[in-house]
Structure 1
Amino acid sequence: MELKRWIQRLLWVFVVFLLVGISSLLHFFSSTYRKIPCEICEFQFDSVPKPNWIVIYPGLVGCGKKCPIALENLRQFQSRFPNTKFSFYFLVTDPKETEEGIQNYLAYYQTSLAIQALRPKSAEEVQFYRRLGAYLPEHPVLKQKDEHGTQFFLIPPNRKVVYALPKLGEDDWIQIQKEMNKE
């Protein structure tokens, strides 16, 4: 009888540990963003006021599919969090794009969103953005097909990491804020 109770207790302890472990794994994998160390963020964005969060969307000038939706998401994101200071950037992913073309493309969006063009200035920056998953087209056919990702990159005021998000969602934003407050 005593052995039977001991086995039952052991089984309950095992079940509790199993449930806690599964819960932890689900929490870990349910996070939709990635946190990546940023070696270049501090000097690349040294002109951005320190309290600002930097939000980057990599896109193609002239894109008529994904970019307009993403840029509208940036505008809505800003309006949902009016007490947070943001600096928005459109990462120009085609190095052959002209300044005039970039400004013409962004002019419409700049009427409701303070967004600036961002161009990688070095091979190191290009590699960094590729590592994040920003598509930098190397073949004109891919550009013509608007083949690029739809990630957003958030850089917190400390400029030490980049959060790569498939979409700008309130749940991820709240989770990132909690993570930042713990540091």
Structure 2
Amino acid sequence: MALKKWIQRLLWVIVIILLLGLSSLLHFFSSTYRKIPCEICEIQFDTVPKSNWIIIYPGLVGCGKKCPMALENLRQFQLRFPNSKFSYYFLVTDPKETEEDIQNYLAYYQTSLAIQALRPKSIEEVQFYRRLGAYLPEYPVLKQKDEHGTQFFLIPPNRKVVYALPELGGNDWIQIQKEMSKE
């Protein structure tokens, strides 16, 4: 009888260890971001202080749905991590937008967030942002429907990679910082 209880306890311990191991493994492999090498980041952001992290949000000028929520998310993120240095960019996804329209759209957000417009200057940059998943519209009807991606792109101070995040959350940020400190 004592042997049977001992075996049952041993089985429970093994089950608990397996569940904890599986949980840790799932957490490890379920990170929500992608890490992509960046061939253009060092050159494109050579004027940004090397101590700054760069956060890019690709959006549509005039967007009334996704972009305002994303830009508020950037503002909240900035407030949550006041000791980190960030440079914020709004990637203008429609090459036909005028500078005046861009500045008018960003003016409201610039009252609480130091965000600048970013426009791809070359075909290589456009291709790079498309590879990341930024939607650069080719069909005007999609712009009218406010259809575009909602990712954030995070570039560390070393400018060697880009982290593509479906949302800008504290857990991913902490995990990315840990990953960068190991390099």
**Normalized against structure 2, the TM-score is what?**
0.88
Residue in structure 2 matched with residue 83 of structure 1 by the alignment:
83
**1:64 lines up with 2:46 in the alignment:** no
The 2-side partners of 1:102 and 1:51 are apart by 27
**1:141 lines up with 2:141 in the alignment:** yes
Please state how far the C-alpha of 1:27 moved relative to its aligned partner.
Answer: 2.7
**1:35 lines up with 2:35 in the alignment:** yes
The 2-side partners of 1:160 and 1:151 are apart by 19
Structure 2: 5+ residue stretches without partners: 1-13
The 2-side partners of 1:73 and 1:125 are apart by 25
2:55 aligned counterpart, secondary structure:
strand
Please state how far the C-alpha of 1:26 moved relative to its aligned partner.
Answer: 1.0
Runs of 4+ in structure 1 off by over 3 angstroms are 14-25
The 2-side partners of 1:48 and 1:123 are apart by 22
1:54 aligned counterpart, secondary structure:
strand
Please state how far the C-alpha of 1:18 moved relative to its aligned partner.
Answer: 7.0
RMSD between aligned alpha carbons? 1.9
Per-residue displacement from partner, 1:163-182 (whole Å, max 9, x unpaired)?
Answer: 01011101001100100111
**Normalized against structure 1, the TM-score is what?**
0.88
The 1-side partners of 2:72 and 2:91 are apart by 15
Residue in structure 1 matched with residue 151 of structure 2 by the alignment:
151
Please state how far the C-alpha of 1:30 moved relative to its aligned partner.
Answer: 1.5
The 2-side partners of 1:29 and 1:148 are apart by 27
The 1-side partners of 2:85 and 2:92 are apart by 22
- Give the count of matched residue pairs: 172
Percent of residue pairs identical: 88
